[in-house]
Amino acid sequence: MKKIAVVGAGLVGSLQAILLAQKGYHVSVFERRPDLRKATLIGGKSINLALSDRGWKALEIAGIAEDIRQIAIPMYNRCMHALDGTLTYQPYGVNNEAIYSVSRGGLNQKLMNLADNYPNIEYFFDRKCLDVNLKTNTLSFQNEQTKELEQFESDKIFATDGAYSAVRMRMQKSMTFNYSQKYLDHGYKELVIPANADGSHKLDKNCLHIWPRGEFMMIALANLDGSFTCTLFFPMEGETSFETLKTREQVAAFFDKTFPDAVGMMPTLLDDYFENPTSSLIMVRCEPWNYKDNIVLLGDAAHAIVPFYGQGMNCGFEDCTVFNEMYDESKGDWTGLLSRFSDQRVPDANAILDLALDNYVEMRDKTADPEFLLQKKIEGKFSRLHPDKWTPLYSQVTFSNTRYSDALKNGRKQDALMQEILKIENIHEKWDEPFVMDKMLELIS
């Protein structure tokens, strides 16, 4: 039986371990941190995820989807909070689809527990990856408990060790490896809206709440305990930024002015603001994801993206799905498999990063723009009339398994077409007239 090492016991690593174990491999999973099932969670880092179709598909393959549905809260709408407190609801799907708020920690624990059912999966915690010998496929770890150096030789290595992957760093130094890392000018900070005294939610829990404010935004996702995890996405530097909001007075004044309908629901705002870290957002692109037939990067290690499409985990899980399919197609022959996998997935990972960057502008800025809302209204109408001719980009990304690279192309085409439609004179008044739909039909063919 072939020995496989998985570096990183996060979501993608644990899922991939299960899928490999199901194929009969002996899988050793190495994780830098202690077993998160025994540790207390470190707060202050955003741990809410929005599960959507690509993620569910992989969870179904692993046989865990039903368990997760029990701890997932469906969100059917974006709920936009205007400065004057007006709420605008925008459905995510055209067929009442939802994205699902889940806790990263809860999902990871479930995956680990499921992995424990496989006698051919072994977890090794407190193992910090120091190096990889590419010639012998040997990993070096520091055992954080004993401080001793440990070596592990395996036939294949799956590196799922995240945006700051140690395995990828080794590949970057040792082979013809195209790599880029770029930090967003904006960072984020986690805040909280606690539950009501009776445990109920202070806002509609079945919405993803957005306070779009042009150059920045706050969002809130519901937790099972009645609270909301809020995340402020905000410039790191500049006139209005993490750098300039320095005192409790400045922060209080800023929130009073900018998020007036939220501030009353955030009793621990000032403590949270100064206790929770300001985190940065890194974007990683690289190619190839494999080293020969031996090592492959999956998940954030291969493609760290920004969180604005809710696709980071979904994309990582889709890596597992795609690998699984390609492995089955090759009937378990590894020759060239990792290289073909890399060729297949790189354009999709690049596309979802581009889409997520676009969506940041959309969420923080355009969702408050009447022209944009009109465009969405027209698109929605057309899509309902001609569902075979128009799948909204958001649905392609979130509620389908269309390749991200195809979705990106389709979206660009749709947007060019809508720019034509918006040029129609008095479109704000005439948008609901039949000739607009006819014009779209004409443009689309």
Quote the tokens at residue 360: 């940041």
Binding span for its own copies by CB under 8 A among 140-148, 172-180, 220-228, 417-425: 172-180
* Interface residue with its own copies, options 39, 136, 153, 183 (CB under 8 A): 183
CB of 1 to its own copies, least distance (A): 35
The yes or no reply on residue 423 touching its own copies (CB under 8 A) is no
Q: CB-wise, 7 or 99, nearer to its own copies?
A: 7
Site for its own copies in 46-75 (CB under 8 A): none
CB of 379 to its own copies, least distance (A): 35
* Interface residue with its own copies, options 65, 71, 169, 417 (CB under 8 A): 169
Buried b (16+ CB within 10 A) or exposed e, 293-309: bbbbbbbbbbbbbbbbb
What sign results for the dihedral spanned by CA atoms 52, 58, 61, 63? negative
Binding span for its own copies by CB under 8 A among 36-44, 63-71, 175-183, 340-348: 175-183
SS3 of 274-323: the string is HHCCCEEEEEEEEECCEECCCEEECCHHHHCCCHHHCCHHHHHHHHHHHH
Binding span for its own copies by CB under 8 A among 178-186, 296-304, 319-327, 372-380: 178-186
Residues 6+ apart with CB under 8 A from 60: none
Site for its own copies in 203-262 (CB under 8 A): 236
The yes or no reply on residue 133 touching its own copies (CB under 8 A) is no
Q: CB-wise, 141 or 211, nearer to its own copies?
A: 141
Quote the tokens at residue 427: 């479109």
CB of 77 to its own copies, least distance (A): 35
The yes or no reply on residue 172 touching its own copies (CB under 8 A) is yes
CB of 307 to its own copies, least distance (A): 17
Q: Is 58 exposed, middle or buried (0-12, 13-18, 19+ CB in 10 A)?
A: buried
* Interface residue with its own copies, options 39, 116, 130, 182 (CB under 8 A): 182
For residue 66, the Cα-to-chain-centroid distance in whole angstroms is: 21
As a whole number of Å, the CA-based R_g of the chain is 23
Q: CB-wise, 164 or 435, nearer to its own copies?
A: 164
The yes or no reply on residue 178 touching its own copies (CB under 8 A) is yes
CB of 281 to its own copies, least distance (A): 10
Cα separation, 82 vs 6, whole angstroms:
46
Q: CB-wise, 280 or 401, nearer to its own copies?
A: 280
- Of 19, 20, 25, residue with least CA distance to 1: 25
Cα separation, 285 vs 64, whole angstroms:
30
Count of chain residues binding its own copies (CB under 8 A): 14
Binding mask 264-303 for its own copies (x = CB under 8 A): ----------------x-----------------------
CB of 243 to its own copies, least distance (A): 12
| Cis amide linkage into residue 288, ω under 30° from 0 | yes
Give me the half-sphere count of Cα atoms (radius 13 Å) on the Cβ side of residue 253: 8
| DSSP secondary structure letter of residue 367 | G
Binding span for its own copies by CB under 8 A among 56-64, 171-179, 213-221, 354-362: 171-179
- Of 124, 164, 126, residue with least CA distance to 142: 126
Q: CB-wise, 109 or 142, nearer to its own copies?
A: 142
- Report the interface residues with its own copies, using CB under 8 A: 164, 169, 172-173, 176-183, 236, 280
